[in-house]
Every structure is written in structure tokens, then in C-alpha cells.
Amino acid sequence: MPTQDKAIKRVVLAYSGGLDTSIILKWLQTTYGCEVITFTADLGQGEELGPARDKALLLGIKPEHIFIEDLREEFVRDYVFPMFRANAQYEGLYLLGTSIARPLIAKKQIEIARKLGADAVSHGSTGKGNDQVRYELAYYALEPDIKVIAPWREWDLTSRSALLEFAEKNQIPIAKDKRGDAPFSVDANLLHASSEGKVLEDPAEEVPDYVYSRTISPEDAPDKPTYITIDFEKGDPIAVDGEALSPATLLAKLNDLARINGIGRLDLVENRFVGMKSRGMYETPGGTILAVAHRGIESITLDRGAAHLKDELMPKYAELIYNGFWFSPEREMLQALIDKSQTHVSGQVRIKLYKGNTILVGRSSPNSLYDQDLVTFEEGAVAYDHRDAAGFIKLNALRLRTLAKRDRKLRG
């Protein structure tokens, strides 16, 4: 243990209640001799969180130092929806379900650390993954002098057997299904579930059916399509099938609709920020519908220049979130631009859900820029003179004609 860290008296741990973070909890107590405060976030992962409190108590944590908070509404309202306004997809495919959850968890840890005068914060991310970066960049952005303890980069518990031995030695309860190597690891929240490792490590092999937890197979989805409408106001969804819903309730509703129609699966090999490629399976059911729907309402309400600029900036915005820079000035600057673009992005889209497919079939808005008189093939009294196109084309062709004349001259 580094000498300078012996002064740590109190640490806030991001605690799931699972075996790994329970081992980390006890390791912090025994290695640093410090008081541990646990923070467990309900982000809609679908697990009962009461056992996390019970296990923390069992491991000697004071009741007043156990924090469990329902963050579902804040998560969707302040993190997921702003990201979807940008149509953010990392490397063109990944809807960033894990990435977007980390800054909120880190923010709450820092708030608790300030409230209780903690010296440090800790997380259970491994030394090979992206999450260690996301957590720690957020910690330092919010509290620049905070000490960070990352057990997976410090301890010598480098094997499953060593972890289990430590757990047994310290009387940490081990469920029967946790004694062997897990076939894959899972991270889940209201937006998505991600699975990585073990049976998924060979990108040439198809994902086994038992890995999927949020969606049924598209082959098993109903033979009849499901039609839904989604209402938007200033870029955010506010209602499904005419029913006004809170952000978290709305996303949960879309998750249910997508699940039974086999929508939202993604088998992806991505480039991690730390420098390696990894293969993962992501299920983002409601988010997949939302991404298509938001593009649909933007298609009739955003000016071409604004829409194209957004598309140019989106990869940078998505990369910032993926890499953990949610609290950076550049992400906040891009967010301001994106939010400004959404001023008139209001209206309704109609979506058809069918066997893994999300199909946009209609869109309408009181702010629509679509002018049927302008685009119709029928002649009429419209503010467009076909003859104007000739000059427009010649001006745009000027440099091409100039290049062609030069090349013809050089060819002799």
C-alpha cells in the first residue's frame, strides 16, 4: 500500500452488493484500515437492492453509511435524453448504455464524500476496461483533489480462486452460482444490458441464446406488427400512444414494446479507450426505438444546415461520452449547441415494430419544414422556378469544368 494513502480514513465505494464489490468492501477495510461508506444506485437494472443493504450491514457498515438511491428518473431525464438529442452512437452503432451511467454514479459518490467528509472514493472496475477511466475522470472533474482507490489495479487477488479464498477467509457470503467462473459478465440499467467476456470473446462465434436477457429472439416475435406513436417536445419524448409519461416510465414502456418484438440486439466489436478491441453484446430495446423516432421527428423539423452540422459533430460527442468526458467543457459546449437545435423538434412519429425491426412509417409536426407544394411533381403556383436550377447548377459546376479543361489541356 502506498505510504501517502495511509492517511485515508473514510472512502465512498460504488457498491452493487455482488461478490466482487463485497470483496472490495472488506479489502478496503483490511488494507487501508478505513471506514467504508457504500453507495448503491438504482438505475433500473431490474435487481432487488435490499440485499445490498443487508450484505453491507453484515460486513460491518453502519446503517447511516449505507446509501441506496433511486436514480431512474434523473438518469433518463438528465443523462439519457440529452444524449439522445444528439443521436449519439459510438462508432456508428453503440447507443452508449454503459458509458452514460458512469458519470451519474460518480457524481453521487462525490456528493456523499463531501457530505460525510470522506477522503477517497472507490470503484470495482478492472484495469483493462473503459469504466475505470469514466469513473475517475468524473471524480477528478468534480473534486480535483479526491483520492481514488481502484482495487483491481492494486491488489494481488488476480484469480477467481484467490477472490473466493479471500471471501471465505473474511466470511463473505458466496452464492452457489458465484463459486465457478461466470460464463460472461453483465452490466445493466434502464437503457440497456451489456454482456462481455468468456463465451463472447471469440468474435467469430455467434452469441448464444442464453446470453440475451432484455429481448426475445426476432424469430419468436409476433407475426403481426405493432404500431405505436411517440410524441416529442423540444427533442425529448413525452408520450407513447398519446399517454404522457415521465422520462423513466416512458423508456420502460418502450423497453416492454421492444422486448416482445425482438428489437434492440447488437453484436459489436469496438475500440476501447484504453487501446484494445473488445467484443460485446448489447441489448438496448427502448433506446433503439427512440433513436429511430428522434431521427424521424428531426427529419421534418430541422433545417438542412443544422441537421448536417449535428451529424458532423455527433461522432465527437459520442466519443466524449464513451471515453468518460461527460463533465468536460467540450461536451458541455456541444450539448449547448445540440439543445439549441432542438427548439422546434416537436411533433409525433409513428413507428412499426416487427421481428427485430424498427420502421418509421409517419411523422408530423406543427413546426414542420416539409412543404408539399414545393416538392410535388405537379405544376402549381409554388415559390420555386425550375429555370433557377440552371444557374445554380452552372455555378456549382464551375470548378469542375475548370478542372476538366485543365486536365484536357495537359493530356494534349
Give the catalytic positions in this structure.
Answer: 20, 102, 131, 185
33-52 in b/e form (b: 16+ CB < 10 A) is ebbbbbbbbbbbbeeebeeb
Question: At how many degrees (to 10) do helices 304-323 and 329-341 cross?
Answer: 150
Separation in Å, CA 32 to CA 4, 26, 157, 310: 11, 10, 16, 48
- Which contiguous run of DSSP H or E holds residue 361? strand 357-364
Contact 12, 112 (CB under 8 A): yes
**270 strand-pairing partners:** 278
Query: How many angstroms separate the CA atoms of 265 and 217, rounded?
Result: 9
Among positive and negative, which fits the CA dihedral 144, 146, 147, 151? negative
What are the two backbone dihedrals, phi and then psi, of residue 264, each rounded to the nearest 5 degrees?
115, 10
Alpha carbon 13 to chain centroid, angstroms: 22
Longest CA pairwise span in the chain (Å) = 89
